């Protein structure tokens, strides 16, 4: 396959969640005309706009006292970036070469080059990793509660996980389901206090503690799940027609293996208090380098840092 060459850029931003789009707004306003390779549609959080595309009401983003829908918020971020001369490519980066300048980024057979790169590829939900899992997607197993909750009206379903996203999904799903059981491998939740209280006070939510999903049961669609007790080792079955998984995230860093320094868990390493990676001219921001805070507002803040670091670094090159 022959390579298609493109006009050299000052900066390429890979990823388009709150971090990438904030970096776009700032670099665009600094006249760097950023090229954002925003990803491609998917039903997981690995899509343009990122994890907020799968959420409903965001209540903790400053400036929206009434709350704002996740996808609407990301649409506004994108419009704001577009207003200041940002170019978008709605595809996924397939390969990078940061070994020399200009840096190169491929989307299949098209090669893009730039003096600097901002990596903001975010993180995506971890799935259960069960053998027959993929067969049940769209047949009772879902990666997107906001998309699919509607189809479980009056039914009994389960949510796996114990963090904020699990509790948020469970609470949302009670709008449709008759009963939502939160299956968690420990005996307490990691979720924030306010989310926990909401779940505990919801009469449709029940908890199945110290339990891990080991099996999905069903012929053509999901009919139940197999569980193992993480303390006693006892196995059991639970009849549910829907299963929503929210057991955590992993960073989207496969592209950068052996290229950028990362922690053992795959998150990119940045120089403390900055967005500098181990390669001069390559910056990282948002969840791809943050496994601690992982909020839209912290991602946006670090996107702004990356844009400013990038702008100053580019200036210093002359």
Partner 1 sequence: MADGIVTLTSANFDETIKSSATPILVDFWAEWCGPCKAMNPVLAEIAKEQSGKVIIAKLNVDEHGDIAQRFSVMSIPTMMLFSGGEMKKKMIGAKGKPQLLAEIAEFIPTKS
* Interacting residues toward partner 1 by CB under 8 A: 40-43, 47-49, 53-56, 70-71, 90-92, 108, 137-140, 142-144, 146-148, 150-151, 221, 242
Give least dist CB 21 to partner 1, A: 15
The nearer residue to partner 1, 148 or 311, going by C-beta atoms, is: 148
Is the CB of residue 117 less than 8 Å from the CB of residue 98? Answer: yes
DSSP strand pairing (156-160 vs 242-245) = parallel
φ, ψ dihedrals at 245, nearest 5° = -110, 125
**Residue 304 annotated in active site:** no
**Residue 144 annotated in active site:** yes
- How far, in whole angstroms, is CA 112 from its chain's centroid? 24
Token pair of 5, please? 């060459």
Catalytic residue among 97, 109, 147, 280: 147
The nearer residue to partner 1, 4 or 147, going by C-beta atoms, is: 147
φ, ψ dihedrals at 237, nearest 5° = -125, 150
Residues present in the chain in total: 318
Give least dist CB 244 to partner 1, A: 11
The nearer residue to partner 1, 48 or 281, going by C-beta atoms, is: 48
Give least dist CB 37 to partner 1, A: 12
Give least dist CB 147 to partner 1, A: 4
Catalytic residue among 148, 287, 290, 309: 148
- How far, in whole angstroms, is CA 308 from its chain's centroid? 23
The nearer residue to partner 1, 108 or 312, going by C-beta atoms, is: 108
Beta bridge partners of 157: 180, 242
The DSSP-derived string for 243-255 is: EEE---EEE--GG
The nearer residue to partner 1, 141 or 284, going by C-beta atoms, is: 141
Helices (H) and strands (E) in the chain, counts: 6, 20
Give least dist CB 176 to partner 1, A: 11
Angle of helix 164-173 relative to helix 193-200, nearest 10 degrees, comes to 30
Residues labelled as active-site residues = 144, 147-148
């Amino acid at each position: 396959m022959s390579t298609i060459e493109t006009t050299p850029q000052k900066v390429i931003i890979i990823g388009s969640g709150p971090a990438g789009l904030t970096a776009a707004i700032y670099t665009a306003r600094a006249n760097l005309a950023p090229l954002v390779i925003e990803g491609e549609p998917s039903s997981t959080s690995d899509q343009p706009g990122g994890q907020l595309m799968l959420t409903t009401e965001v209540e903790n983003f400053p400036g929206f006292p009434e709350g704002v829908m996740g996808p609407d918020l990301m649409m506004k971020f994108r419009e704001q970036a577009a207003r200041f001369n940002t170019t978008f490519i709605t595809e996924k980066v397939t390969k990078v070469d940061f070994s020399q300048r200009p840096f190169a980024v491929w989307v299949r057979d098209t090669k893009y080059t730039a003096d600097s790169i901002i990596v903001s590829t975010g993180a995506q939900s971890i799935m259960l990793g069960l053998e027959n899992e993929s067969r049940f997607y769209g047949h009772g197993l879902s990666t997107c509660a906001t998309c699919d909750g509607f189809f479980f009206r009056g039914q009994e379903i389960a949510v796996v996980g114990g963090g904020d996203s699990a509790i948020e999904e469970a609470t949302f799903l009670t709008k449709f389901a008759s009963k939502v059981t939160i299956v968690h491998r420990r005996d307490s939740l990691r979720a924030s206090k306010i989310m926990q209280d909401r779940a505990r006070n919801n009469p449709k939510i029940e908890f199945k503690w110290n339990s891990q999903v080991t099996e999905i049961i069903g012929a053509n669609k999901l009919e139940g799940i197999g569980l193992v007790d993480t303390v006693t080792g006892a196995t059991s079955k639970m009849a549910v027609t829907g299963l929503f998984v929210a057991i955590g995230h992993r960073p989207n860093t496969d592209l950068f293996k052996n290229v950028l320094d990362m922690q053992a868990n795959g998150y990119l390493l940045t120089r403390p208090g900055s967005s500098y990676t181990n390669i001069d001219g390559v910056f990282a921001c948002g969840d791809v380098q943050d496994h601690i805070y992982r909020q839209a507002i912290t991602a946006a803040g670090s996107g702004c840092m990356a844009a400013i670091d990038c702008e100053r670094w580019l200036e210093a090159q002359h």
